């Protein structure tokens, strides 16, 4: 295929497009036919998903790049760090484009779009995509995408995730693009997610999430501890999402919580420091972020259902509680306590998790932070002294644990209560 075929097809829009670009791009150098086709391909793909392409242009696009009547879209998300400016990337856009084209050499009815910020759209077409023998179409397209992710990592050293849309007629291919985008919130680097996998769970989950949010805010307004249960449901919904989606949603939830609290006590500013919380949200990842969200929610609302849900009727749990209350300031390990209650460390660990909802280290750190709060609020001890008194040897580590559990550092905790930092 070359530029002469474009002229034979009377593809005036694309020739004009190329003529307008080529002087600036090549600074007087005559471009090759391959380079011209690459830019036309990217232009068509951009127009296709920006919904600015005409019916005639779609016909020309299909003829020029052998695009069939049906297809699906893959959206690649390239993790290139914080460098959104293409000029600052380690890997050139053309290198990435050619790596993808090389991988797709066995798929002649495909097209690759431009790199926009950190995403590239790919169109895979075929007349019988949904009628191929073997695995179902979603599994085939997902497997192809997973291989592409691995190939891109091998050739470029760039972690990639991808969303895959369903099969549509080319005239309705924007729907596949939209589905692929919706998968991006559920992708981690190195992972491909197909919309088919999410469709039913997304519909049901999003409904439950909205219901949980509504009931949580109502419970906060009515001072009901049920708010914690609804908050937990929302956190469970967020767990499989990407880290970016988690961060956005958690910030949104905490702002809503702060507004609900402010509606009935007119003191919203004391409950939620927006600027500081944004810094914290960017600092934590995955489970740590969820745990931080729990600590902020409990601090803002005063609801701490986890402490109330421990089954102290269990003899082992009761004995563990008494031992920790008496020895929290000492160097304690799971093996030490298991020996004290006369059971194996493995069984002890499982029993504690089942009975309390968290592991032994979490229980110990929560108890130590609780004692630290009491000492900071009711004594003249310095933060460093309190650190040693509750069983920690490193003040910096103590500060991190305190912040993880309380949502703020010991110094910030003192300031929130009008106490001068010691």
Please write the tens of the pLDDT for every residue from 38-76.
888 888 888 888 777 888 888 888 888 889 988 999 999
Supply 82's token pair: 């914080």
Please, which residues have CB within 8 angstroms of residue 372's CB and are 6 or more apart in sequence? 386, 387, 389, 390, 398, 402, 410
Q: Would you state the torsion angle of the CA atoms of residues 192, 195, 199, 202, taken in this order, to the nearest 10 degrees?
A: 50
Question: How big is the CA angle at 290 (ends 286 and 293), to the nearest 5 degrees?
Answer: 140
Lowest mean pLDDT among 64-78, 247-261, 286-300: 286-300
pLDDT for 148 equals 93
**pTM for the structure as a whole:** 0.48
Q: What is the mean pLDDT of residues 162-168?
A: 90
Supply 372's token pair: 């630290």
Please write the tens of the pLDDT for every residue from 361-401.
888 988 899 899 889 888 888 999 999 999 999 999 999 88
Instruction: Band the pLDDT of 135: cuts 50, 70, 90.
Output: very low
Residue 311 has pLDDT above 60, yes or no: no
Per-residue 3-state assignment (H helix, E strand, C coil) for 365-394: HHHHHHHHHHHHHHCCCCHHHHHHHCCCCC
Residue 126 has pLDDT above 90, yes or no: no
Residue 86 has pLDDT above 80, yes or no: no
Question: How big is the CA angle at 209 (ends 207 and 211), to the nearest 5 degrees?
Answer: 70
Please write the tens of the pLDDT for every residue from 16-39.
544 555 555 555 566 677 788 888
Please, which residues have CB within 8 angstroms of residue 178's CB and are 6 or more apart in sequence? 165
Q: What is the mean pLDDT of residues 105-130?
A: 86
Instruction: Band the pLDDT of 346: cuts 50, 70, 90.
Output: confident
pLDDT for 306 equals 44
Mean pLDDT computed over every residue of the chain: 78
Q: Three-state DSSP class for 125? A: strand
Instruction: Band the pLDDT of 279: cuts 50, 70, 90.
Output: confident
Supply 40's token pair: 């036309």
pLDDT for 298 equals 82
pLDDT for 91 equals 58
Q: What is the mean pLDDT of residues 251-258?
A: 90
Instruction: Band the pLDDT of 157: cuts 50, 70, 90.
Output: confident
């Amino acid at each position: 295929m070359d530029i002469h075929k474009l002229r034979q097809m009377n593809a005036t829009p694309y020739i004009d497009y190329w003529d307008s670009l080529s002087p600036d791009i090549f600074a007087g150098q005559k471009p090759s036919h391959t380079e011209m086709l690459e830019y036309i391909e990217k232009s068509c793909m951009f127009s296709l998903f920006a919904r600015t392409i005409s019916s005639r242009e779609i016909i020309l696009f299909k003829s020029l790049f052998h695009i069939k009547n049906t297809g699906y879209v893959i959206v690649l998300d390239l993790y290139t760090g914080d460098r959104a400016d293409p000029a600052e990337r380690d890997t050139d856009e053309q290198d990435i484009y050619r790596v993808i084209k090389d991988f797709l050499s066995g798929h002649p009815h495909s097209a690759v779009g431009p790199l926009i910020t950190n995403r590239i759209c790919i169109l895979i077409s075929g007349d019988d995509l949904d009628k191929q023998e073997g695995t179902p179409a979603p599994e085939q397209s997902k497997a192809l995408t997973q291989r592409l992710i691995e190939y891109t990592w091998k050739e470029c050293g760039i972690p990639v995730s991808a969303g895959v849309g369903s099969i549509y007629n080319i005239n309705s291919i924007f729907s596949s693009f939209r589905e692929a985008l919706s998968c991006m919130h559920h992708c981690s680097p190195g992972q491909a997610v197909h919309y088919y996998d999410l469709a039913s769970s997304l519909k049901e989950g999003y409904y439950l999430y909205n219901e949980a949010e509504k009931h949580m805010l109502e419970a906060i307004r009515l001072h009901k501890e049920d708010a914690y249960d609804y908050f937990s449901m929302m956190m469970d919904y967020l767990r499989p999402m990407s880290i970016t989606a988690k961060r956005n949603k958690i910030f949104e939830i905490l702002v809503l919580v702060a507004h609900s609290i402010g509606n009935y006590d007119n003191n919203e500013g004391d409950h939620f420091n927006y600027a500081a919380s944004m810094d914290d949200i960017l600092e934590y990842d995955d489970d740590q972020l969820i745990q931080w969200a729990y600590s902020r929610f409990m601090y803002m609302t005063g609801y701490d259902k986890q402490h109330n849900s421990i089954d102290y009727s269990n003899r082992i749990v009761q004995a563990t509680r008494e031992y920790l209350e008496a020895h929290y300031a000492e160097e304690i390990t799971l093996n030490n306590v298991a020996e004290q209650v006369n059971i194996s460390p493995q069984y002890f660990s499982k029993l504690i998790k089942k009975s309390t909802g968290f592991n032994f280290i979490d229980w110990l750190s929560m108890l130590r932070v609780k004692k630290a709060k009491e000492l900071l609020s009711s004594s003249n001890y310095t933060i460093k002294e309190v650190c040693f008194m509750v069983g920690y040897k490193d003040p910096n580590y103590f500060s991190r644990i305190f912040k993880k559990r309380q949502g703020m550092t010991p110094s910030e905790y003192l300031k929130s209560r009008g106490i001068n930092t010691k």
